[in-house]
Structure formats: C-alpha cells, structure tokens
Structure 1
Amino acid sequence: MSARKARSEVENSEVDMTPMLDIVFILLIFFIVTTSFVKEEGIMVNRPKINKPQSQSTPAMVLRISDSGMVTFNGKPVDIERVPARIENFIAKNDSSSAIVIPNYNTRHEDVVAVIDKVREFEHLTISIGK
C-alpha cells in the first residue's frame, strides 16, 4: 500500500511557478525603472526638394573631401584651417549663399564634421551635403 501512495504523490506533485513569475516581474520592473534614456545629439540636415528649381545666378561653393581627408574648394586643394579664408574670399567676389559639401564614400565622419563646422562659422550660408 505504501508503494501505491508513493506513486500517487509523485504523479500529483507539481512545481509552483508563482514565486518564479513574481521574481521575473520584479526584475522587469527594476530594469524598466533603472533604465536611463539619453537623447543623442546630431546634425540637422535639410535635404533639398527634388522638384525645386535651382538658381543659376548665384554660384555655389563646392567643398569636396577625399577619403584621406584632403579638402578641395571649387576644385583647388586647401588646408582645412584655410577654408574660412577661402569662403570669405569667394563671398567677397560672388554673391553666394550656399555651400555644398561632398564627401567621398569612405571619408571619416570627423573630417566631414570638421569641414561643416568651418562652413557654419558663416551663419548666412546654407549648407548642403551631396554625394
């Protein structure tokens, strides 16, 4: 008779999952509460509209950046520190309000940001990024 009783206890025994579920929910709440959300800052890029007619009366400044970080201003090589002087010279000769930065596909992001920062010194210029 004790063998029958042992078999029935083995067949009827179950693991109570309620405490484990409580722990899982407590951990979930803990991770939700302790998670910090950081808003990352970036550069706002205003992309031109596709059907926007281009004004040919004002020339644009074209700054190309090679994959090695070499900068050219309207086809002429220039040191990155000399970019603001070239822009001032170009603005003095031409009534321009736009600059186009064209990085190579493999250009480092630091080089692109450095050139854009130099162009942003002139607040009246509109900066476009080309490819």
Structure 2
Amino acid sequence: MSADIKAENQPYDDINVTPMLDLAYVLLVVFIILTTASVQGVKVDSPNTRASENLARPQTRAITITADGTVFLDAYPVDIAQLKSRLADHKAANPALPVVLKADAAAQYDTVMQVLEVAKALDITELGLVTKRQAP
C-alpha cells in the first residue's frame, strides 16, 4: 500500500498538452468564422425609399455598383462583358435567377443602365433594386 502512495506523489516527467491543443484549435476555428462573417461585401451608400421590404431570395446574385462606377458580382469586381458572361452561366443553371442590384446613390446612371441592359439581354425578370428604408 505504501508503494501505491509513493507512486502517486512522484513528479510527472512529461506534460499532457492535448487539452491545450484542443483549446487552441477551437480558438482558431472561432477566429476564422468570425473573420469571414465580418466580410459582408462591398459597402455603398444606397438611396432612400419608402418600400417596406427588400428581401433577397436564396441563390440570389448581387450586383453592386460603387460611386466610382466599379461593378461587382457577388463582391468580385467585373467589367460589363464579364458580368454578362457570369450571369449567363448562372442563368443557365437557374432559369428563374433572381438578381439584386445595389448601387451607390452617387453612381453614374450610365453604369446602372448598362447593368440593366445586361439583365434584359439575358431575360432576367427577377430583378430587385436595393435601397435604404426612409423614415416616415
């Protein structure tokens, strides 16, 4: 019996780092998730409207036009030819492709019209315009 007690009181020769590694991996995963969740896309100053709801459907493609006229498709910069090509690919996969157009209030009207012409040429009928809700 005294041999059992003596064995319990002996110092450890090594440290078990497995729980510390588990904690480090959990913290890494949480950091990755929080970092990617904070990326919301391209920030623009949308015009105001009194529309009650502006809801996007699942698998909706977002086209964003910044104040300087840069066009983005789902947060990736594209020119008008690339936009037409990529939207055509998405339209082929989903014939009822919903598209949301989010333009800065200071964006050039010409750029907005070019994007709308691309949508019309591809026969995209589910097209929404994103605005900010104006206080009554």
- The 4+ residue runs of structure 1 with deviation greater than 6 A are none
Higher relative contact order (CA 8 A, sep 6+): 2
- Structure-2 change in CA distance of 1:92 and 1:67 (3 Å): same
SS in structure 2 of the partner of residue 111 of structure 1: helix
Query: Normalised by the size of structure 1, how large is the TM-score?
Result: 0.52
Aligned twin of 2:116: 116
- List aligned pairs for 1:1-131, cutoff 5 A: 50=52, 56=57, 58-94=58-94, 96-131=96-131
Cα-Cα RMSD: 2.6
Please state how far the C-alpha of 1:115 moved relative to its aligned partner.
Answer: 0.8
Q: Deviations over 1:29-86 (max 9, x none)?
A: xxxxxxxxxxxxxxxxxx9x7469x685x41110000111110001111011221111
CA distance in 1, matches of 2:109, 2:56: 30
Amino acid at match of 1:122: L
Please state how far the C-alpha of 1:89 moved relative to its aligned partner.
Answer: 1.7
Query: Normalised by the size of structure 2, how large is the TM-score?
Result: 0.51
- Structure-2 change in CA distance of 1:87 and 1:111 (3 Å): same
Aligned twin of 2:23: none
Structure 1, gaps ≥5 residues long: 1-46
Is this contact kept in 2: 1:60–1:96, CA < 8 A? Answer: no
Is this contact kept in 1: 2:96–2:126, CA < 8 A? Answer: no
Amino acid at match of 1:128: G
Question: Which range moved further: 119-128 or 66-75?
Answer: 119-128
Q: Who wins on radius of gyration, i.e. which is larger? A: 1
Equivalent residue pairs, number: 82
Aligned twin of 1:21: none
